[in-house]
Amino acid sequence: MAEGKVPVTVLIPCFNCAASIRRTLGSVLSQTACPIEVILIDDASSDATGQILREMADAYPGWIKLLRFQRNQGVASARNAGWDCATQPFIAFLDADDVWHPKKLELQLAYMQTHPEVDLCSHRHRVLLDADAKPDWVVPPFAGSRISRWSLLWANRFITPSVMLRRDIRQRFAEGQRYMEDRLLWLEIVCEGGRIDRLETNLAATYKMPYGSSGLSSNLWEMTKSDMANYRQLRVNDKVSWLLGHLLELLALLKYVRRLANVAYWQVRSGQKRADRQA
């Protein structure tokens, strides 16, 4: 763990993640700029997750804080609970099966501190299909670019583990929403005049295919219904016009068809990689 600590709270919602949470927290421990606090939220896990989280909190007292739900409430409520307990001016989100590049916090925080007009900063990521692969690639020089309202309405431009935002923004995740809750928050921020930028470099990694793999992303139809509901909420709240809201709902249905095709592609690719390793 780096000596100097930076004013960031890391929020990690945890549910039945015993197999991956040590790897995830290891990527936080490996940061060149260590966050002042890490909040782990146990969303009523039924496996060994709770015991592992307690061990981690005991190993790093004062640095790791542990919240526990008695009943499963979903990732949106878990993130909000951690957000309410956060003490630092910047919040970075990480999922319990993903990892960060060692320079993620150092580079992203520097961008946020030198761009006070930015409410939320994101970045690109890589997909690592080998569970033993490390996020240790070389980070070349990069630029930041603004993500427009229209661009974000058209498609999601980043994953949640890439996000750092200012703790004091008004918006929050929709309590109890279990699918596409992150996308709704990003849309509400940008539609209410907030500024969202993206760093054009890879500073995080996932270990699963974008769709059709384990976890919430496996339920494509539920994701599609939630995306359509997000657009309806924006329309009802006058964030988008009636016509645009309906067009975006149609777009969500078309994306569903495309994602089904992507699932087939990723399954074939994953099968080929397994076959190559076994050869």
List the CATH number of the domain containing 159.
3.90.550.10
Is 195 in the same domain as 110? yes
pLDDT along the chain (279 residues), means of 10: 84 97 97 98 98 97 97 98 98 97 98 98 95 95 97 95 98 96 97 97 89 58 93 96 95 87 72 65
Whether 106 and 228 share a structural domain = no
Residues 102 and 13 in one domain: yes
Burial class (CB in 10 A: 0-12, 13-18, 19+), 232: middle
Q: Same structural domain for residues 96 and 151? A: yes
Q: Which domain holds residue 253?
A: 212-279
pLDDT computed for residue 212 by the predictor: 53
At residue 264, the pLDDT reads: 72
Boundary of a domain, candidates 207, 226, 261: 207
Task: Looking at the structure, tell me whether residues 63 and 167 fall in a common domain.
Answer: yes
The domain boundary residue, chosen from 207, 240, 257: 207
Q: Read off the pLDDT of residues 49-73 as tens digits, 9 standing for 90 and up.
A: 999 999 999 999 999 999 999 999 9
**What local confidence, expressed as pLDDT, does residue 185 receive?**
98
pLDDT, residue 58, reads 97
How is 67-106 classified by DSSP, letter by letter? EE-SS---HHHHHHHHHHH--SSEEEE--TT-EE-TTHHH
Are 162 and 98 in contact by the 8 Å Cβ rule? The answer is: no
Same domain, 191 and 241: no
| 15 & 151 share domain | yes
Look at the chain and report how many structural domains it folds into: 2
Say whether both 34 and 154 belong to one domain.
yes
Q: From 60, 222, 251, select the one nearest 155 (Cα to Cα).
A: 251
Does 233 share its domain with 181?
Answer: no
Query: Is the same domain home to 42 and 114?
Result: yes
Boundary (domain end) residue, out of 207, 233, 260: 207
Claim to verify: residue 121 and residue 234 sit in the same structural domain: no
